Structure 1
Amino acid sequence: MHNERFLNYLTYERRFSKHTAVAYKLELERFESFLEEQKMPVHQVDYRTLRYYISLQTELGKASSSVNRTISVVKSFFKFLVREGVLSQNPASALKSLRTPKKLPTIVDKEKLVSLLDQEDHDELTFRQRRDLLVMELLFGTGIRLAELLTITDADIDSYSRQIRIIGKRNKERLIPIHDMLYDQIVSYQAEKKSVILQNMSTHLIVTNKGKPAYASMIYQIVKKYLTTITSQSKRSPHVLRHSFATSLLDNGADLNAIKEILGHAGLVTTQVYTHNSAERLKLIYKQAHPKA
């Protein structure tokens, strides 16, 4: 009962994405199973019980990032129970996140990616090919998240100012500029969409072959199909294109604060991870190019 109310709170008040809400739901179900095994109602849970539960996650071999997600969910859940008056004190308030090693964002070679996308003959494309190419161009050309791509409607494209209206995390709105070539691709795709799908078409920009709103696994398949032709790395997801976009901007001298605004980051600390990527790339270029390196 408490779980359901908490998930509704995340979805309708906190405006969590569907993907995040599902992740929270799975974490809560694991925690609920643990309490059932311990024969412990939620109002009897104390800090020691929670520390034991977290230690079990570590013993199972979970990565620090996964354990930290568990901690975050548990803390949010008990904070909600206090807010709702179910509990008078929050036993999870003192839980601390584990230290995690910083990982550089995975990117793809931008020259290979640009070459791949530019080799398509737009005049000969089918509707499906034109849509798939636009998905790649949007992700790499704007740095938007997968969830943001899925929410874009035709009305969000501003033809006058060449901008796209994006609804990001926590329902925060931002405008992202697009270059003329990408805008032309959007217009061409929209025209093709109207001529191919004659009825029951969604107002979402990216749709299935039958005109229904696109879904996450469909976008993953499109991105993987393209990236497989230019890289053998294990990570070939939409987020890799977001990382590649940000790194390309930084490599070409873009201001870090501007990149932060385009990506929709809440704080500059998140954006600064890309400076490490650029530094590593510069080191590699130096070693390859300098005669004494």
Structure 2
Amino acid sequence: MLNPFIDYLLLEKKYSPHTVNAYKKDIEVFQEYLKENFQDNINVANYSQIRSWIISLVEKGISNRSVNRKVSSLNSYYKFLMKIEEIDKNPLAKHKALKVSKKVQVPFSEKEIEKVFEILNFDNSFEGLRNKLIIELFYSTGIRRIELIQIKLEDIDISQKTLKVLGKRNKERVLPLLSSIIVTLKKYIQERNVLEQISDKDYLLLTKKGVKIYETLVYRIINNYFSEASTKVKKSPHILRHSFATHLLNQGADLNAVKELLGHSSLAATQIYTHNSIAELKKVYAKSHPRNK
């Protein structure tokens, strides 16, 4: 029954192939565990068996957050089986997620961002221009890593200075591009066009071998550059997205506007970025309020 579930996620729920693949892997991991330990089919698994699997994941050192995600994938599968009346009871109906400590995402400071662009060397080679463009796109638009990777040449309108991205659940949004990005973009495209071989012609960001960039490469680029400019423990594309939202809010941007730029479906998702904004407001308040003189 896994293939109909995959079709359901893709066609009805409109999940991205990347998300659907993650669901599929999680469910397959549980299927393998069931066969190896209980010789049972996933459709007849009980909560005791699922709990045994959860314990085995924790014992392997997998974080509670990752375990919860895997169980969530499995729960979605059982809800689908209920929907099509393949089963009459969801074994995960009363399951409670493992406790997860809230991770504080510390954004890069504006000075750290400036340091990357001012001090570090982005030469005019293909890779230098590509890496600069990647960082500029992350910080200037707040897009997700998968959204960056999927950008096609046709998604960019240089004359209108806009970028079209396909977000979660295939939700499309159009983002403004700064003039500085357009300059880098034009230089990069010139270098891109003279690559010896291009396999993935539709995509904007390529490796020097002419194929679409991939997740680990993007992470490596961000980590390498920001390791020179920041002492923060975590240096990733998501932290750049976090920095984008935080810095906009610090400068007085409307929360709803930031929500639309980030492609969030609700304000609740955007509000996680406000704690840094509030910290900044407290500083301004302390310096400016007449009763604090």
**Length-normalised TM-score, structure 2:** 0.85
Measured in 2, the distance between the counterparts of 1:17 and 1:149 equals 14
Give the SS at the match of 1:195: coil
Distance 1:201-1:52 versus aligned 2 partners, 3 A rule = closer
**How far apart are residue 282 of structure 1 and its match?**
5.3
The equivalent residue for 2:230 is 231
Contact 1:104 1:277 in 2 (8 A): no
The equivalent residue for 2:207 is 208
**How far apart are residue 12 of structure 1 and its match?**
5.2
Matched, 1:115 2:115: yes
Q: Which stretch of the first structure deviates more once superposed, 107-116 or 135-144?
A: 107-116
The equivalent residue for 1:277 is 276
The equivalent residue for 2:191 is 192
The equivalent residue for 1:94 is 94
The equivalent residue for 2:78 is 78
**How far apart are residue 136 of structure 1 and its match?**
0.7
Contact 2:156 2:162 in 1 (8 A): yes
**How far apart are residue 231 of structure 1 and its match?**
1.8
**How far apart are residue 146 of structure 1 and its match?**
0.6
Contact 1:105 1:277 in 2 (8 A): no
**Length-normalised TM-score, structure 1:** 0.85
Give the SS at the match of 1:272: helix
The root-mean-square deviation of aligned C-alpha atoms, in Å, is: 3.0
Give the partner amino acid of 1:223. Answer: I
Gaps of 5+ in 2: none
Give the SS at the match of 1:175: strand
Contact 2:115 2:229 in 1 (8 A): no
Give the SS at the match of 2:194: helix
Distance 1:57-1:286 versus aligned 2 partners, 3 A rule = farther
Give the partner amino acid of 2:29. Answer: R
Deviations 1:235-255 (A, max 9, x none): 221111111111111111101
Distance 1:42-1:115 versus aligned 2 partners, 3 A rule = closer
Contact 2:161 2:178 in 1 (8 A): yes
The equivalent residue for 1:40 is 40
Measured in 2, the distance between the counterparts of 1:98 and 1:274 equals 24
Spell out the pairing of 1:1-293 with structure 2 (5 A cutoff): 2-11=1-10, 13-36=12-35, 37-58=37-58, 62-119=62-119, 125-197=124-196, 200=199, 202-281=201-280
Give the partner amino acid of 1:74. Answer: L
Q: Which stretch of the first structure deviates more once superposed, 197-206 or 141-150?
A: 197-206
Measured in 1, the distance between the counterparts of 2:147 and 2:78 equals 29
Distance 1:198-1:46 versus aligned 2 partners, 3 A rule = closer
**How far apart are residue 228 of structure 1 and its match?**
1.0
Measured in 2, the distance between the counterparts of 1:144 and 1:116 equals 19
Contact 2:195 2:210 in 1 (8 A): no
**How far apart are residue 213 of structure 1 and its match?**
1.4
Distance 1:200-1:43 versus aligned 2 partners, 3 A rule = closer
Give the SS at the match of 1:164: strand
Contact 2:16 2:170 in 1 (8 A): no
Give the partner amino acid of 2:9. Answer: L
Gaps of 5+ in 1: none
Percent identity, aligned pairs only?
A: 35
